[in-house]
């Protein structure tokens, strides 16, 4: 009998009770209708509470979007950060009014929402005032508002009130759930009790019918109850062929599908997490490579610089640790190159073409970096240029090496010529000089030919001195470096020049307040430089003139050095002659000079890694600046020795 009722459709089971008298059915129907109506009302109220909770969550989320959009706009001053703020502003008050109407039946909840609405309006008014100030470029008040957390108190009050509202809503929900359960039990008791009372004669039949319906429902309800360990339970399949059996099979299929979807979702989440980790690692690796690349990497959108790596900032003479100003790199371009580079790059951007050029960066300390710059357009799928990817390569050392190589080639050629001169001219000069000396010794002092012989001997010595200077200019410089005091060396040179100083009644004034000035260099070669420069200054100065020698420690870039400044008040050098003073055999105003003195000085200083510069103004005098590093780098000394050995082997 039990199996028969289990497999019998519910409609037929209920048909078995149709024999109840009509009055009993009517009474039972009235009672049942009342219970069902109460149950439906409770369900409607329960749905209203659920809806109120969703509205409250959405309301609080919009308030958070207001704060987030406001902070993003204040911190960046970019208009697109106001989009979430404006969206939240358009909806939050409407949702608040909807929520207020939704809970109008609950005085305590309605009072809370009304209070929160006032707070939100105050919250929006404060933000609107600050946003207008930021748009007017008065960001200090807004930033102070954020830093002092003035909006945080209001936000906390809103959160607390919404938390109390959520608590009240949850309490109402629990109450309604309890009442719903109570009404359900009442409805069941009414149906069962009324049926038992009216159909006492069919107690057994109705019991079997109720048992065949309620027992599988209870089993099904027990099976679908979620636990902490199994939030999505497995629904068993019942062997019944009635509607409950069909329902169990449908629910079993649904639970299996949910489990399958959850497993796929968990797998996708794990893959996504791993992908994010890999992506973060790749991004960090790429950024590290770009930041530590030995050349400048930068990106522009149109003419605006949007990215510059660490080395590019160093090339421009900027501090990589400081916040980058997009225009700072452009301002660091040498003034003589800046306008050309900007115009040419603007033309390339307009035409969407690659751009390559050579220009110079001028640092704040006067250092100049020569750069090969290449910029390539990056296009999107439609062929439009979205950005330019640029690379700056420091070619300062390469340019210097090329200059030195060209000069070395010229020196090598000159060395060959000097060797030929030494071979072809020096030996005859020695013969002429020796013969002339013997003739002078054998000639009577009263002989009319004796002055001619003296002239021959004097000119022979002068030719020999010229040949020696040519060879000295052409030969490689081998540096024998040791530490000495530059101030003491200047004083020695001043003593050597006592005779020309006395003859011209001139003086040399030395300014060396921080003596001693210890430097590691080839003392004899630097002495030759000082002798040549001071001799030129004395010859250029008027009678009774004063030449000033100043010593000061001065770094070039990161390398410490010493600068010797020699200033005279002589006739000066004309602007047309000034660019050629360091060229071999060029002389101005010295009929007895060979034009090799300053050229030899430059050779000596370049071999030391230093430099010599000359400024002059006609009628006001000349200033020579000699700079040399305080220490000779081992690599430079080794290169000079190898270069010298190479020239000796091939000279």
Residue 302 has pLDDT above 50, yes or no: yes
Domain count, the chain: 4
Q: Is 628 exposed, middle or buried (0-12, 13-18, 19+ CB in 10 A)?
A: buried
Q: How does residue 646 score in pLDDT terms, banded at 50, 70 and 90?
A: very low
Q: What is the extent of the structural domain holding 348?
A: 289-395
Q: What is the pLDDT of residue 164?
A: 83
Question: Is the same domain home to 192 and 243?
Answer: no
CA dihedral 287, 288, 290, 294 (to 10 degrees): 170
Structural domain ending residue among the three candidates 379, 395, 411: 395
Residue 149 has pLDDT above 90, yes or no: no
CA dist 551 and 515 (Å) reads 9
Let me know if residue 492 belongs to a domain.
yes
Segment 628-647 mean pLDDT: 56
Question: Is the same domain home to 43 and 94?
Answer: yes
- What residues contact 76, with CB distance under 8 A and at least 6 apart? none
**Lowest-pLDDT range, 26-30, 115-119, 263-267, 602-606?**
26-30
What are 474-521's pLDDT values in tens digits? 666 678 888 999 999 999 999 989 988 888 889 999 998 887 899 999
CA dist 224 and 378 (Å) reads 58
- Tokens for 478, please give them: 């081998």
Question: Is the same domain home to 314 and 280?
Answer: no
Q: What is the pLDDT of residue 642?
A: 45
Question: Is the same domain home to 48 and 139?
Answer: yes
What residue spans of 199-304 are helical by DSSP H? Answer: 203-224, 243-291
Let me know if residue 226 belongs to a domain.
no
Question: Is the same domain home to 283 and 293?
Answer: no
Question: Is the same domain home to 57 and 189?
Answer: yes
Let me know if residue 424 belongs to a domain.
no
What are 225-248's pLDDT values in tens digits? 756 666 677 777 777 777 777 887
CA dist 148 and 184 (Å) reads 55
Residue 136 has pLDDT above 80, yes or no: no
Question: Is the same domain home to 361 and 270?
Answer: no
Structural domain ending residue among the three candidates 378, 395, 412: 395
Question: Is the same domain home to 50 and 181?
Answer: yes
What are 247-274's pLDDT values in tens digits? 878 888 887 888 888 888 888 888 898 8
Q: What is the pLDDT of residue 474?
A: 60
**Between residues 260 and 151, the one the model is more confident about:** 260
CA dist 315 and 363 (Å) reads 9
- Please report, for the domain that includes residue 145, its CATH number: 1.20.120
What are 578-611's pLDDT values in tens digits? 887 887 766 765 655 667 778 888 888 888 889 9
Question: Is the same domain home to 324 and 383?
Answer: yes
Residue 567 has pLDDT above 90, yes or no: yes
Structural domain ending residue among the three candidates 348, 377, 395: 395
Let me know if residue 423 belongs to a domain.
no
Q: What is the pLDDT of residue 648?
A: 31
**Lowest-pLDDT range, 322-336, 422-436, 513-527?**
422-436
Let me know if residue 452 belongs to a domain.
no
- Please report, for the domain that includes residue 596, its CATH number: 3.30.565.10
Residue 635 has pLDDT above 80, yes or no: no
Question: Is the same domain home to 534 and 584?
Answer: yes
| β 368-379/304-308 pair status | unpaired
Q: What is the pLDDT of residue 645?
A: 39
Let me know if residue 421 belongs to a domain.
no
Element (H, E) at 532: helix 523-540
**Lowest-pLDDT range, 30-39, 375-384, 563-572?**
30-39
Q: What is the pLDDT of residue 355?
A: 93
Question: Is the same domain home to 178 and 294?
Answer: no
Question: Is the same domain home to 128 and 240?
Answer: no
Let me know if residue 404 belongs to a domain.
no
What are 381-434's pLDDT values in tens digits? 888 999 999 999 998 888 878 877 776 677 667 666 766 666 677 667 777 878
Let me know if residue 535 belongs to a domain.
yes
């Amino acid at each position: 009998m039990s199996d028969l009722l289990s497999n019998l459709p519910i409609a037929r089971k209920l048909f078995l009770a149709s024999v109840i008298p009509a009055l009993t059915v009517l009474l039972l129907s009235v009672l049942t209708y009342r219970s069902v109506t109460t149950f439906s009302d409770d369900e409607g109220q329960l749905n209203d509470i659920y809806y109120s909770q969703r509205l409250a969550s959405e309301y609080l989320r919009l308030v958070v979007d207001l704060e987030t959009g406001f902070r993003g706009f204040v911190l960046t001053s970019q208009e697109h950060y106001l989009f979430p703020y404006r969206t939240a502003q358009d909806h939050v008050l409407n949702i608040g009014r909807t929520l207020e109407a939704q809970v109008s039946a609950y005085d305590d909840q309605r009072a809370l929402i009304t209070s929160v609405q006032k707070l939100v309006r105050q919250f929006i008014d404060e933000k609107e005032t600050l946003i207008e100030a930021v748009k007017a470029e008065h960001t200090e008040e807004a930033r102070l508002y954020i830093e002092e957390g003035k909006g945080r108190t209001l936000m906390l009050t809103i959160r607390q009130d919404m938390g109390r509202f959520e608590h009240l809503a949850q309490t109402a929900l629990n109450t309604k759930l309890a009442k719903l359960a109570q009404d359900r039990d009442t409805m069941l008791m009414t149906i069962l009790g009324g049926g038992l009372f009216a159909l006492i004669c069919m107690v057994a039949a109705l019991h079997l019918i109720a048992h065949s319906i309620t027992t599988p429902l209870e089993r099904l309800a027990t099976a679908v109850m979620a636990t902490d360990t199994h939030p999505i339970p497995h629904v068993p399949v019942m062997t019944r062929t009635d509607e409950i059996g069909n329902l169990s099979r449908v629910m079993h299929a649904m639970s299996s599908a949910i489990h399958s979807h959850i497993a796929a979702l968990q797998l996708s989440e794990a893959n996504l997490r791993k992908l994010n980790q890999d992506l973060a690692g790749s991004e960090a690796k790429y950024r590290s490579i770009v930041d530590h690349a030995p050349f400048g990497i930068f990106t522009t959108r149109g003419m605006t610089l949007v990215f510059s790596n660490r080395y590019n900032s160093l090339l421009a003479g900027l501090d990589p640790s400081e916040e980058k100003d997009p225009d700072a790199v452009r301002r660091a371009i040498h003034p003589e190159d800046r306008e050309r580079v900007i115009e040419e790059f603007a033309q390339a951007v307009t035409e969407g073409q690659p751009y390559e050029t050579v220009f110079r960066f001028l640092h704040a300390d006067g250092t100049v970096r020569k750069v090969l710059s290449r910029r390539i357009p990056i296009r999107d799928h439609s062929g439009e240029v979205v950005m330019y990817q640029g690379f700056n390569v420091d070619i300062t050392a390469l340019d210097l090496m090329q200059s030195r190589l060209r000069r070395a080639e010229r020196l090598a050629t000159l060395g060959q010529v000097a060797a030929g001169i030494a071979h072809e001219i020096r030996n005859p000069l020695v013969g002429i000089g020796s013969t002339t000396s013997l003739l002078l010794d054998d000639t009577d002092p009263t002989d009319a030919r004796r002055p001619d012989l003296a002239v021959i001997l004097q000119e022979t010595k002068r030719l020999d001195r010229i040949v020696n200077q040519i060879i000295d200019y052409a030969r490689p410089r081998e540096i024998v470096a040791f530490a000495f005091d530059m101030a003491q060396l200047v004083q020695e040179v001043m003593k050597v020049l006592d005779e020309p100083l006395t003859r011209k009644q001139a003086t040399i004034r030395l300014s060396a307040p921080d003596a001693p000035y210890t430097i590691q260099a080839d003392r004899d070669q630097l002495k030759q430089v000082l002798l040549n420069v001071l001799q030129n200054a004395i010859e250029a100065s008027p009678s009774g003139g004063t030449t000033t020698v100043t010593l000061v420690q001065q770094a070039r870039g990161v390398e410490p050095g010493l600068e010797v400044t020699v200033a005279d008040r002589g006739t000066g050098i004309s602007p047309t002659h000034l660019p050629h003073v360091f060229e071999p055999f060029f002389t101005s105003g010295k009929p007895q000079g060979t034009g090799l003195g300053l050229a030899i000085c430059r050779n000596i200083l370049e071999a030391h890694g230093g430099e010599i510069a000359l400024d002059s103004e006609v009628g006001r005098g000349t200033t020579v600046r000699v700079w040399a590093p305080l220490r000779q780098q081992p690599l430079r000394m080794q290169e000079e020795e190898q270069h010298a050995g190479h020239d000796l082997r091939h000279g």
